[in-house]
């Protein structure tokens, strides 16, 4: 007795192997595309966070330095104009946040005078240290500094100070008013301009307690 065989009995081993290879290649391409997409998304998120930090830092620097009291005979304010560090007296608006890592400030309704130091720390961060300041009293000497991190990944920061005659110096002579301050920052990425020039508002005053 003869048994007829049909050609539709199934796939050969070679056909199964070819299908598995093609499926593996498609799966590899899919995972590679997903990996590239996730990497691009992470870079975009990191870039957005860095840009937000830099915009916030520049706004804080401009707000504080514009109100600096330097060379004003009516305000006995401490000042140190260094090439890599700048100490001055300025004012903070009530409820303002000089940096993203400051928890809270004074709850008073008027701008408060503060002693501010801006410079780079050993962790390569641009930091602002500040404490309340009252002219002629020992409050600033007793009050601990608070700290705000303005920028991460800072290699160098250099200060220059413009005198009334228009010259830029690496320091400010005692008793002479400073018209503007320029910061040169390196190592913070492509978003922020490395040079930030800030004009000081002459005649700025605040209400002291």
Task: Please enumerate in sequence order all residues whose Cβ is within 8 A of that of 4, keeping only pairs 6 or more positions apart, or say none.
Answer: none
pLDDT for residue 21:
84
The rounded mean pLDDT for the chain is: 77
- Model confidence pLDDT, tens digit, residues 54-97: 888 888 899 899 988 876 656 667 888 899 999 998 888 765 55
CB atoms closer than 10 angstroms to residue 192: 17
Q: Are 87 and 171 in contact (CB under 8 A)?
A: no
pTM above 0.75, yes or no: no
- Model confidence pLDDT, tens digit, residues 170-183: 988 876 788 999 99
Name which of 61-70, 95-104, 138-147 the model is least confident about.
95-104
Domain positions in the chain = 50-199
Query: What's the rounded Cα separation, in Å, for the pair 80 and 171?
Result: 8
> Side by side, which strands form the sheet with 80-81?
80-81, 85-92, 112-120, 126-132, 146-151
125, pLDDT greater than 60: yes
pLDDT for residue 157:
92
């Amino acid at each position: 007795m003869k048994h007829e065989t049909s050609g539709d009995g199934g796939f050969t081993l070679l056909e199964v192997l070819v299908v598995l290879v093609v499926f593996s290649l498609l799966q590899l391409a899919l995972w590679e595309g997903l990996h590239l997409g996730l990497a691009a998304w992470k870079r975009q998120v990191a870039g957005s966070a860095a840009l937000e930090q830099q915009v916030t830092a520049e706004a804080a620097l401009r707000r504080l330095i514009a109100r600096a009291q330097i060379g004003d005979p009516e305000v006995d304010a401490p000042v140190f104009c260094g090439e890599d560090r700048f100490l001055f007296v300025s004012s903070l608006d009530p409820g303002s946040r000089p940096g993203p890592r400051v928890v809270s400030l004074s709850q008073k309704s008027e701008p408060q005078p503060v002693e501010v130091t801006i410079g780079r720390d050993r962790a390569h961060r641009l930091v602002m240290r500040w404490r309340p300041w009252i002219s002629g009293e020992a409050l600033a000497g007793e009050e601990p500094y608070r700290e705000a991190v303005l920028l991460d990944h800072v290699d160098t920061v250099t200060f220059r100070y413009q005198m009334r005659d228009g010259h830029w110096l690496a320091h400010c002579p005692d008793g002479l008013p400073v018209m503007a301050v320029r910061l040169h920052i390196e190592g913070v990425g492509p978003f922020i301009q490395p040079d930030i020039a800030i004009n000081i508002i002459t005649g700025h005053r605040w209400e002291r307690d």
